[in-house]
Structures are given as structure tokens and as C-alpha cells.
Structure 1
Amino acid sequence: MLLATLTACGGDGDAAAKSKPSVAKTAGKDRSVDCIDESIGQAEWMEHCADEDGTGGDGTAGTETLEFGETAKTAGDQNPADGSQGGEMLEVTPTTVAYQAEAMASESMNGTFAIITVKDRAPQGTATESAPIEGGGWQWIAPDGQALDEGDNDASSITPNGFTGGGMVLAGAWAWKTIAFDIAEEQRGGTIVYTDGAGATYRWKVPAQDAGPELAKLKKGMEGNY
């Protein structure tokens, strides 16, 4: 269930935010539509629910802020590079973070790797994450405001066993993937930002220390010489 603090474009400040009901508790503009029903289609969800979940009611992209470990219901990549159908709803959940100066035979150029597990689930149709080449994907916003791209330097080489998913997720299936950032030690505890296939953005504040239910498995997956 998604419990989010919405900071949509064109809002009326704190008063509007307080008066706006959570998506988890209400339908969209059409009160007969259950916005948390996984069986509804992407087009229907965008029409009736998007104004309360990351986009404006007119379809313009917005920003949604979530707690680390919460799930965002996002639009999949509309034009996957492999030509597959990937534009259905994709549930994206960052769950665990580990900080390491070295990982899987790679050494951080900036001082620290921030390694994050992400669970991608396609509840109703084939879906994929949006790609940086199309203006989508992941970034790390450090506490000092610097924006860092996923996979910079040797971070792209970090592929822990058990967390090497990504790409197409079939309807009803889910997969683990890893995103990694090369950051300075003082840039721990940043915010990860994901931009989906509809241009909406989702933000999670990341703990400044190792945390999350997959931590032991993540570290085990990075052991040894690769």
C-alpha cells in the first residue's frame, strides 16, 4: 500500500497538501475507480488516479515523495530499446542500501559506493523501467545538492548475485535489480530520484547508514572476486 506525501506541480502549499486525501484511502476523480486495485488498466489509472499519485489531473508530470521502502506505482517505459511492450504500470520499491568503498573488485573514485536494491513488479502487463537516454531512470541527489547519475565511474560494474534483474518484467512477475552510485563519503544519506515513462518523478530519502531487509543477502551477493 502506498502512503505518500505529494508535492505535485502547481499546489497550494501546506494547506492543500493537508486537505488532499491519500491515494490509498480514496479513488480518483471517478469515485467508482479503486486506485489501488491492481487489475485496473494503465490508461484508466492515469485518467482517474494520476492526479493523486505523482501527476496532475491534466496529465502533466509531478513529483511524489515516499519513505525509503515504500512502493511507487509508476508508468513503464513507453518505448523500450529492445522493441518490447514495456509501458504498463510498474511498481518500484527501493528496499536496502549498503555503503562500501570497494565492491566486487571495483573501487569508488569519489570515496564510497551507495548500493541499493530495487524490487520491480509488473502487476498487470509487461513493464520496464525508463532509460536515462530517454530522460528517465535514477539519480542520486546528495545533501549538498549535487546530482549524480546511476552507474557513474565503476558503479556500473556492481552486479551482486541475486540482484541482477532489470529490463523487461512480465505481467504478474517481479524482479530484483541493483542501482549503484559513486559518491563522496559526506554525500551519504542523499535522495534517490526515479523518473518514469510518463515523466513523473518519485523521490526517496536514503538512510545514511547500511539499512534494509535485504542487507545480509546483498552483502553476500558481493562477496568474492568477480
Structure 2
Amino acid sequence: MVISQILKTDTRRILTDPFMIFMSIAPWVTAIITKAGWLYMNKHYPDITLDPLITSLAVALLTPMNIGIVLGFQLLEEKEQGVFRAISVTPLNNDYYLFYRFAITVVIGSIMTYFVHEILGLISLPLVFLLPVILVATCQIPLQSLMIASFARNTLEGFAVMKGTGFTLLVPLLVAYFFSDYSISWLAGIFPFFWLIKAYQFAINDQIGLFIASLSVGISYTLLLCWILFRYYRTNALK
């Protein structure tokens, strides 16, 4: 009952907000356009070398970030409307309410990420590799949403936070593209998305031990950051 009501409310909010609609359909549109562009370039400009790894990372595995942004603005709007103060005095307290929100979006994000990755079809991975990578990717959903909802006091500040956190995604991608063969690249490990990139690379190269290690670090580090932000959100952002 609670989950169905949350889904109805979120769906209504998304369908009435142009920005939310854009962020929700952007991964699908981007994947289709990228796939078409990739096929066109390979057919008409075969001498130009394209990197399927970076393309897949930038399109498919960033899909959870879009979902996290949507959820972050939803939480921010609810904070402005005093929803959390009302929930705190009901049997469904804020902790359970946020757990429901994160669980629902992680499930949706996992499905979306899988299909966007397959629509691109640039890199083929067995499910035993792809599904754990998607799991780590979807951990970015609560992280991204909590960054927006915790540090922004209104929608305008939410956009500023969203833009400001873009470098946490851009830097690891640039490092993976330009410095992946250098030991200095590991300095980018302070960004959680870096470990997703490394796991994806190790999966492609069939390096099982390093794949498992990167997954473990990635999910542990991301969940630690989520826990820290969640505590901040409860103690400061909901005042």
C-alpha cells in the first residue's frame, strides 16, 4: 500500500514537471542517438577510432546518475513542503520512507541501466559480470540524490549542487580515457565512480580477482558515503 502510493505520487510529479520528464527519458534517447551515430561513423568514417568503453560508461552506466538527480529533486521538493516533518510523527518514519524511495529507484535504475547498456551493444559482457557492475552503478542513485537533497535548500540551489557534483563523474571518465595505463590514475579513487570504471575495465579484460576487488571497494566506499550523507540529512537538512 505504502509503496504503491509512493509510486503514484512520484509518477504524477514526474509527468507534470518538464525537467523530470527530460531526465527520465534522457538515457533512452541518448542511447538510441549514440547507437545510431556509432553505426553511422563506422560505416562512413571507418578510419576514425572510437572508444566503446568510454562511450558505454558515459551513456549506460551514467543512467543511475540521472535517476539519482530526479529522486534528489523529489526529496528536495518534499523537504520544502514539509513532508518529512509530517512523516516523522507517523508509524512510517523518515528512515523507512527514505529506504522505500531508495529501494524503488534502485530497482528501476537497475532495469533501465541494463536495457540502455544492451541498446548500445558496444560491449558484450556475460551477466555474471554485467549485473554486479550494474549493482555498483545503482548505488550512485542514493548518493546523488542525497547530495542534492542534503546540501540544497531550494530548487535553485539544487541545480547548483547538481552542476557542482558533475566533476565527480567527469574526472574519473577523463582519467580512464587519458591516464588508465598510469599508476597515477589510482588517485582518482577518491571519486566513487572511479571504482565502477575499474570494475568495468577488469570485467572486459576477464581479470576476475581485480574485478571482484574493484566491486568490493566501489560498493563499500559508495555505501559509506551514503551513510555519512544520510546522517547529515537526518540531523541537519530536515530541521
TM-score in terms of structure 1 length: 0.25
Whose strand proportion is higher, 1 or 2? 1
TM-score in terms of structure 2 length: 0.24
Bigger Rg, structure 1 or 2: 2
